[in-house]
């Protein structure tokens, strides 16, 4: 609508689940969809192979950096979030750290104790330079 096109469609399928009674200590790299119901003490990153989605449920806690294209938070995050495409903060979201996003949806009740940083569209301008009056 209004000429805007979505660049990336979020991953709708959840490929991996970290259960409610599970604690993981260490970094997680994933592709596709990941849902966290438990606790993660480490960074969560998605590869650049395509769009990925991270869902942090109401009872989940993540202590570390998150770097994923699409992020949905309804639990607690202690660390920065870099959502390169889309970030959705549900009513129970509690974030302590800076949040970088391209598109943000924040529902009533969500709390961010940090800065909200909008990421601009990446664009590269090519400039052609010509040398005038060169004497050889």
**pLDDT band for position 129 (50/70/90)?**
low
Beta-bridged to residue 55, according to DSSP, are: 35, 72
By mean pLDDT, which of 2-11, 26-35, 44-53, 97-106 is the weakest? 2-11
Residue with tokens 């104790």: 113
| Residue 99 or residue 122, greater confidence | 99
Concatenated DSSP letters of 40-99? EES-EEE-TTS--EEEE-TT-EEES-EEEEEEEESSEEES-EEEEEEEEE-TT-EEES-E
**pLDDT band for position 127 (50/70/90)?**
low
Report how far residue 116's alpha carbon sits from residue 113's, in angstroms, rounded to the nearest whole number: 9
pLDDT at 47: 84
Element (H, E) at 25: strand 23-25
Q: What is the pTM of this model?
A: 0.81
Note the pLDDT tens digit of each residue in 37-94: 999 999 999 987 678 999 999 999 999 999 999 999 999 999 999 999 999 999 999 9
């Amino acid at each position: 609508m209004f000429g805007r096109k979505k660049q990336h469609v979020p991953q709708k399928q959840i490929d991996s689940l970290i259960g409610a009674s599970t604690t993981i200590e260490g970094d997680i790299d994933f592709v596709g969809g990941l849902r966290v119901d438990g606790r993660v003490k480490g960074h969560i990153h998605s590869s650049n192979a395509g769009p990925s989605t991270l869902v942090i449920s109401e009872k989940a806690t993540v202590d570390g950096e998150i770097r994923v294209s699409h992020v949905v938070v309804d639990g607690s995050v202690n660390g920065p979030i870099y959502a390169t495409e889309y970030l959705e903060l549900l009513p129970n979201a509690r974030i302590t750290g800076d949040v970088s996003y391209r598109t943000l949806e924040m529902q009533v009740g969500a709390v961010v104790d940090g800065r909200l940083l909008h990421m601009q569209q990446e664009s590269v301008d090519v400039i052609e330079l010509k040398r005038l009056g060169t004497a050889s």
